[in-house]
Amino acid sequence: MSPDERIVGWLRKASGPLSGEELARRLGCSRAAVWKRIAALRELGYGIAGRRPGGYALRAVPDRLAPAELAPHLRGAWRQVEWHEETDSTQRVARDRARAGAPEGTVVIAERQTAGRGRLGRSWHSPGGLNLYCSIVLRPSLAPGAVPQLALVAGVAAAAAIAEEIGRRPAIKWPNDVLIDGRKVVGIITEMESELERVAHVILGIGVNLNAPRSAFPPELRRKATSLRLATGRRVDRAAFTGRLLAALEARYGRFVRGGFASMRAEWEAHSSLTGADVRVVSFEGEVAGRVLGVDTDGALRVRRRGGNVVRILAGEVTVQHGYGR
């Protein structure tokens, strides 16, 4: 933790003002050095009041997702957060950290991405200071073939966090698009590195549209995407939501590792936008049309074809016959 983050943390927890002398003692530096750090924090948007002889007091914090802002909202074991004002992709940064030995639960967050990535090689639109863009290092004891199920687990966690935020249940479009009023609000990507039958690590990327206005979306996305602010008419506390999402994900990830996707199936089905819908699925194996019966215990989509036979689909792009999703 940086000196600035430590100062913010101490001021946040203090029952009253902290003197420059006390902060200097804790940091092991001079009072002049403390004054420079306080000035730098004010430049970043921290409202720090300070008068002699009372000391410094924290009055307001900026709308950022840095460790100091997230700390009061982190409830689980995943507390190692690396924050960037801007990066090309949190997936790339998290992958580099994983290769260097970062522990499970390491979270990389950016305020803005210049090359954010989504599923199937698509880009993820990432305007600054409005939404949540994060990637988490995971090291599950799984066979590589089970790793795609993590995307479904993440979809359930995101849906649960959103439901707690907005007071109503979002839908999930298989495998992991989270929708509000039929429009996408969450995107999820998983990228794995493995050796033979052993998973070295998985990078789980999650993007959530929190406070983006309609003008922040490219014209081609405005009918397909939305944000929590557009859906509710009110601004979301990004730090509080991030803490809620990470707690929901950590809990469900633990349940999944212990009991497999079968332990998550009922919760996923409760959010499903596709069950009972007529769909067309395009995959590497060809095209399937039929009615969705639900998901199997391994997360495969079960579709009854018009001839009556039921097929299992492990990966593919789904189009609902009468719209993007419910």
Distance of CA 13 to the CA centre of its chain: 27
Number of domains the chain is built from: 3
Q: Kindly state whether residue 326 falls inside one of the protein's structural domains.
A: no
Q: Are residues 122 and 27 in the same domain?
A: no
Q: Are residues 100 and 13 in the same domain?
A: no
Q: Are residues 295 and 148 in the same domain?
A: no
CATH number at residue 37: 1.10.10.10
144-202 pLDDT per residue, tens:
989 999 999 999 999 999 999 999 999 999 998 999 999 999 999 999 998 878 899 99
* Domain that residue 307 falls in: 278-320
46-102 pLDDT per residue, tens:
899 986 677 899 888 888 898 888 988 999 899 899 999 999 999 999 999 999 999
Maximal CA-CA distance, the chain: 83
Q: Are residues 217 and 83 in the same domain?
A: yes
CATH number at residue 311: 2.30.30.100
- Mean pLDDT for 288-317 is 91
Q: Kindly state whether residue 325 falls inside one of the protein's structural domains.
A: no
Distance of CA 20 to the CA centre of its chain: 37
Q: Are residues 308 and 194 in the same domain?
A: no
Q: Are residues 30 and 145 in the same domain?
A: no
Q: Are residues 90 and 55 in the same domain?
A: no
Q: What is the DSSP letter of 142?
A: -
Q: Are residues 160 and 230 in the same domain?
A: yes
The per-residue pLDDT of the chain, averaged, comes to 89
Q: Are residues 203 and 143 in the same domain?
A: yes
- Mean pLDDT for 308-322 is 86
Whether pLDDT at 121 is above 60: no
pLDDT value of residue 190:
94
How far is 242 from 71, CA to CA, in rounded Å?
11
Whether pLDDT at 123 is above 70: no
Q: Are residues 113 and 204 in the same domain?
A: yes
Question: What pTM, to 2 d.p., does this model score?
Answer: 0.84
- Residue 269: CB atoms within 10 Å: 13
212-245 pLDDT per residue, tens:
999 888 888 888 899 999 999 999 999 999 999 9
Q: Are residues 265 and 226 in the same domain?
A: yes
| Domain end position, chosen among 271, 291, 312 | 271
Q: Are residues 40 and 75 in the same domain?
A: no
How far is 301 from 304, CA to CA, in rounded Å?
10
Q: How wide is the angle at C-alpha 229 spanned by C-alphas 228 and 233, nearest 5°? A: 125
Whether pLDDT at 1 is above 80: no
